[in-house]
Amino acid sequence: MDVDNKPVEDTAETVVTKKLGPVFWLCAIWIGITVVAAVLAPWIGLPSPTVVDYNHFSMNGPMSAAHWFGTNDGGQDIFARVVYGARISLEVSFGSMLLASLIGGTAAIFAAYKGGILDTISNALMTLILAFPAALAVIAILSFWMPTTPFKLILIIGISGIPLIFRVVRGATLAAARKEYVLAAHVQGAKTPRIIFKEIIPAVWPTAVAFFILGVASVIMLEGALAFLGLSVQTPAFSWGTLLNDARQKIYPPNQNFNMLIWPCLDMVLFLVSLNFIGDRLRSYFDITEGKL
Amino acid sequence: MNSPLLVVSNLHTTFETPRGLLPAVRGVSFSVAENQTVGIVGESGSGKTVLARTIMGLQPIRGVKLSGSVLLNGNEIVNRPHDELRHLWGSEVAMIFQDPMTSLNPVRRIGDQIAESLQVGIGLKRKEARARALELLVQVGIPSPEDRFNAYPSQLSGGMRQRVVIASALSCNPKLVLADEPTTGLDVTIQAQILDLLDQLKIERKMSTILVTHDLGVVATRTDHIYVMYAGRIVESLPTADLHAHHRHPYTAALLNSTPRIENKSHTRLTAIPGSPPNLLKPLTGCAFAARCSFATDLCRNQTPELRNDGGASEFACFNPVGVNA
């Protein structure tokens, strides 16, 4: 119990600032660099990632000042391909999670706050969809809807992510709606939209953001898995996943080009680790805050 | 005295639970006059919080059966949808909740929370609302209110938070304030401060107050009239001045007996009321308190006593009332 025995002057000044830690910021910086580089890729003086150069000396070149990560079996700069490859991976992962969050999150907040039959039905429906493995559904749909484009990936992965987001946000909304301050706002005459925007969403927000970040990481991995099956974007378009799938076949003679495998792999792994770390860190950070309040 | 501000008559609140009907409020009638402070006392589970929320019109439509009437300044509250009650909330009746830790939004600044109730309640512009909110913080005795205006609830102590809750509840000048255990979460010295504050505001603003509490000590000095609730009914109704000398119901007597007294020797065991309140899921015959009452007779176990008056100041629902000065 909060005992009021301290001089009043003390309480307002003792602002508790919790630290996210240096690793968090390192991860955030890495994500920032990767995203900015991917967005600005055409304007930062990279060699073309797509022009094929079958000059004997250009193929499978070693790491050098001109080609930081070497060149691939088509004489293309691997560094440029890694940076450009992030574009589709990020586009698809952020796009599909945004789609899922907008639809799933909005539906969840309204259903959970309004309650009643609408909530019961939508929750049952989402549970039903969840019972079917999403990755399998994505694979099945994509294999009947070739050729794959980023838009199709966003649409299909996004829709398949709706039930998960729905469940998470619904839980957070139910917890928030039970709070006495929501009732207090209600009896002061606040109407439903105001309560949702001013009371519910600020409480649900941290959970949703943490889940969003973890979701982006798992979509990047899912895209990688799809590429491995040849179901991701088709040449000449390429993503991290397709880079890895190409490289997988080139580590044997006559090419034996390990640069093609190692660098995209390293970049993708570092990015995923950073995302997961940040997502987890945010989740625990906000959970503790909630427990303390 | 003017016509009463609040008239509650024969109010029943029954919850439909999976285990059957639970009558939490079973036929309560009382009234609150303008500028009057009324105390509703009862132990946990006596229905006092349910009563308070029913008076606010806060009971959900589903799963609850309501009957009887609550007239607030001529407006019927019972069985009205929330949309129709919204214009009464804030300006006619406001509620102060029990726990200041949970009745403020932890992620919003306190000034904004108070200002918002002004914007919503009486349609002030944002700037006016903020100025008015600052005045309210001054009125409820928050030191250096300009700094506190932008503080988050977690940066304030429990007592300060309850002051903020009060400021927010009183922002639209309600005529009636329902305080549901307003000091239960606070320690004793702060309890006194908060109750003094409520008293002072009540006089300044000419409000009526309903103080709902389990603590006879809280109501004994700060109310005009006391209603003692037991198992969803009012068992005794008497002016506060007569509480100690002229109470008639054995339950009131037992409650008074179980309050610690300053003249008791230290380490005196506190007298407790034996047994526990009846399970309202089961049908009750006779007086609900009979099983725990040392005066109970067969009549008490078979017939429900109604509130009656035998010439004294108290109205009581008992066949065997305790004598004067019991």
Of B62, B143, B157, the CB nearest to A2: B157
**What are B233-242's pLDDT values in tens digits?**
999 999 998 8
CA distances from A86 to A101, A155, A173, A265 (A): 22, 19, 34, 12
Interface test with B, best of A5, A117, A181, A197 (most B CBs within 10 A): A181
Kind of pairing between the strands at B37-41 and B225-230 = parallel
Residues of chain B with C-beta less than 8 angstroms from the C-beta of A190: 116-117, 120
Note whether A188 contacts B169, CB cutoff 8 Å.
Answer: yes
Contact present, A213 and A165 (Cβ < 8 Å) = no
Q: How many Å lie between the alpha carbon of B214 and the closest alpha carbon of chain A? A: 19
Contact present, B57 and B80 (Cβ < 8 Å) = yes
Q: Which one-letter DSSP state was computed for residue B171?
A: T
Most confident of A2-6, B2-6, B235-239, B256-260: B235-239
Q: pTM to 2 decimals?
A: 0.74
**What are B19-41's pLDDT values in tens digits?**
888 999 999 999 999 889 999 99
- CATH superfamily to which A32-292 belongs: MetI-like (1.10.3720.10)
Q: How many Å lie between the alpha carbon of A179 and the closest alpha carbon of chain B? A: 7
Residue numbers in chain A where pLDDT is lower than 70 = 1-18, 53-58, 287-293
- Sheet of B64-72: strand order equals B20-32, B6-17, B64-72, B75-76
Token pair of A172 as six digits: 């957070």
Q: Which residues of chain B are in CATH 3.40.50.300 domains?
A: 6-230
Note whether A185 contacts B105, CB cutoff 8 Å.
Answer: yes
Q: 3-class SS at A80? A: helix
pLDDT number for residue B60? 76
Q: Across chain B, what does the average pLDDT equal?
A: 86
Q: What percent of chain B has pLDDT over 90?
A: 20
pLDDT number for residue A9? 42
| B326 band by pLDDT with thresholds 50, 70 and 90 | very low
Of A6, A8, A184, the CB nearest to B97: A184
pLDDT number for residue A54? 67
Residues of chain B with C-beta less than 8 angstroms from the C-beta of A14: 155
Q: 3-class SS at B14? A: strand
Which has more confidence, B189 or A1?
B189
In chain B, whose CA is at the least distance from the CA of A115?
B62
CA A5 to chain centre: 46
pLDDT number for residue A18? 64
pLDDT number for residue A92? 92
- Sheet of B208-213: strand order equals B93-96, B176-180, B208-213, B37-41, B225-230, B233-239, B315-316
Say which CATH topology domain B6-230 has.
Rossmann fold (3.40.50)
pLDDT number for residue A57? 66
Q: Write down the ipTM of this complex.
A: 0.75
Residues of chain A with C-beta less than 8 angstroms from the C-beta of B89: 186-189
CA B92 to chain centre: 16
Annotated domain spans of chain A:
32-292
Contacts 24+ apart (CB under 8 A), A189-197: A189/B86, A189/B87, A189/B89, A189/B90, A189/B117, A189/B120, A189/B121, A189/B172, A190/B116, A190/B117, A190/B120, A191/B86, A191/B120, A192/A113, A192/A114, A194/B116, A194/B120, A195/A113, A196/A109, A196/A110, A196/A113
pLDDT over 70 (residue B93): yes
Residues of chain B with C-beta less than 8 angstroms from the C-beta of A198: 105, 108, 116
pLDDT over 70 (residue B295): yes
Q: How many Å lie between the alpha carbon of A202 and the closest alpha carbon of chain B? A: 7
pLDDT number for residue A287? 65
pLDDT number for residue A291? 46
**What are A234-277's pLDDT values in tens digits?**
878 888 888 888 888 877 777 777 888 888 889 889 999 999 99
